[in-house]
């Protein structure tokens, strides 16, 4: 996984590391929603769970994953034999990366209730790292999907966004 920077698993490792930093620095300061920032953060955290589950479920059921020809860096549910373009995948190509974005941004916003200067700098750096690594992982995964599904994937990319429907 960490030996091949062309593989999405390489970047996924760093996504999880930066999210762990965000969680470690911010969760001790989470409070009950008080202002609109906390409410937005709570919505993003809920969306994170919904996006992640919806994407995982569709890959497992509709994508017909198989252990055959599986790369070492792929989790079993990622090794789909069918291009999934229904449900949440009709609107976005990477709902699970979107879930990680929502988790990171929601965690960051939750920590703003007690913005100590040094912690704010560290969490901002972790958030920027997460955003960058999610983007790089998605691009690497799209390259892998183009190799696997060919023109069908290119057509699919032309009609969907990466992470957020109609936006990004």
Helices (H) and strands (E) in the chain, counts: 5, 0
Q: Which two tokens stand for residue 105?
A: 């941004």
Model pLDDT for residues 42-53, shown as the tens digit of each residue: 999 999 999 999
Burial of 100 (0-12, 13-18, 19+ CB in 10 A): buried
Model pLDDT for residues 83-123, shown as the tens digit of each residue: 999 999 999 999 999 999 999 999 999 888 777 889 899 99
pTM of the model: 0.89
């Amino acid at each position: 996984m960490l030996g091949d920077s062309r593989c999405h698993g390489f970047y996924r490792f760093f996504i999880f590391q930066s999210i762990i930093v965000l969680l470690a620095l911010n969760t001790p300061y989470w409070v009950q929603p008080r202002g609109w920032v906390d409410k937005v953060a709570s919505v993003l955290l809920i969306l994170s769970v919904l996006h992640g589950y919806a994407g995982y479920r569709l890959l497992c059921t509709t994508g017909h994953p198989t252990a055959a020809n599986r790369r070492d860096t792929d989790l079993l549910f990622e090794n789909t034999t069918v291009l999934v373009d229904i449900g949440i995948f009709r609107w976005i190509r990477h709902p699970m990366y979107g879930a990680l974005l929502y988790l990171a941004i929601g965690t960051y916003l939750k920590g703003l209730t007690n913005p100590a200067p040094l912690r704010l700098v560290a969490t901002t750096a972790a958030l920027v790292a997460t955003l960058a690594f999610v983007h790089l992982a998605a691009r690497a995964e799209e390259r892998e999907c183009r190799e696997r599904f060919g023109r069908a994937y290119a057509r699919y990319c032309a009609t969907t966004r990466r992470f957020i429907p109609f936006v990004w």
